[in-house]
Structure 1
Amino acid sequence: MSTGTLAPAGDWIRGISIKQPWTTCIAARAKTIENRPQPWSWRGWLLLHAGLQTDRPALRLPHVARTIRGRDLPTSAVIGVARLSGCHQDPDGSPPCTEWAQPGQWHLELADVQELALPIPARGQLGKPTEDLIAQVLQQLPDLRP
């Protein structure tokens, strides 16, 4: 599929930067939500960008350690895609929706996760990704559609 057949960059796909090891946990399809301080109204495909920083204390959490065992933790790179299908906050006093949920945070609901075979180096916040970055992702995931 050529990028000429797609909507302009950023119209159908966005990027989200997440610290490691959380990005790898999502790419491994174990972590199905991403915790954020504010809700997101946008829905659609997201490039999963492993940010430059690593959340070192998270490496010692049992569910994280199980998920990342034997996996690389690339940083400053796009390592997969996911579809943002919803956003919710757990009601006060209720149990968390998953073991990955942080109380008081908004939970971005991630579906249709696809991990890239090769990380694509990308610096900074992605927001609306460039056509070149989208083309590099589509080389590895040619069936990805808006």
Structure 2
Amino acid sequence: MSTTTLREGDWIRGISIRQPYAACILTGAKTVENRPTRWRTGWMLLHASKTIDWPALRVPMIGRAVRGRALVTGAVIGIARGTDCHQDPDGALPCSPWAQPGAWHLVLDGVQALPVPVPARGQVVPWRPTPDLLESVLRQLPGFRP
């Protein structure tokens, strides 16, 4: 599969996530990302936004997940596949310890960290990566096939 073929498709989006939550996803501890609205499923670049939620580091499950990791910001740090996006029914147990009540839960699978973060600007909404950004990411994941 050539990079040129991938550029023409509408197969991938970027998702910007604050730190330390982005790092928790890379470790595999956090498999659900909370969003205010429904997100489409499929492949996405994991972008660490420029801000860090410092108080979140005092939450035990977050602190354990990111212990010893650098909290990179303003860069694509990995890739993942969203396999489901749902809200838990009223009164039901949360689908994950990371799931927030009332939020849409984007379930992430196939997470792969990049060896070297790629600086990029993200957006609050799902965003399309530029061909150059996508090429820089895929160059670091030679075995990746969507």
Does TM, normalized by the shorter one, top 0.5? yes
Please list every run of 5 or more consecutive structure 2 residues that lacks an aligned counterpart in the other structure: none
* Matched pairs, number: 144
The CA distance in 2 between the partners of 1:28 and 1:22, in whole Å, is 10
Equivalent pairs: percent with the same residue? 60
TM-score by length of 2: 0.93
Q: In the alignment, residue 23 of structure 1 is paired with which amino acid? A: A
Q: Which residue does the alignment assign to 1:138?
A: 138
* Contact 2:86/2:104 (8 A) holds in 1: yes
CA RMSD of aligned residues (A): 1.4
Which residue of structure 2 aligns with residue 33 of structure 1?
Answer: 32
TM normalised by structure 1 equals 0.93
Matched, 1:55 2:53: yes
> Is the 2:14–2:122 contact (alpha carbons within 8 Å) kept by the matching residues of 1?
no
In the aligned structure 2, how far is the partner of 1:90 from the partner of 1:26?
20
Choose which of 100, 103, 110 in structure 2 pairs with 1:102. 100
1:74 aligned to 67, 72, 75, which one?
Answer: 72
- Stretches of structure 1 that go unaligned for 5 or more consecutive residues are none
C-alpha contact 2:35 2:103 (8 A) present in aligned 1: yes
- Runs of 4+ aligned structure 1 residues displaced above 3 Å come to none
Between the aligned partners of 2:78 and 2:129, the Cα distance in structure 1 is 13
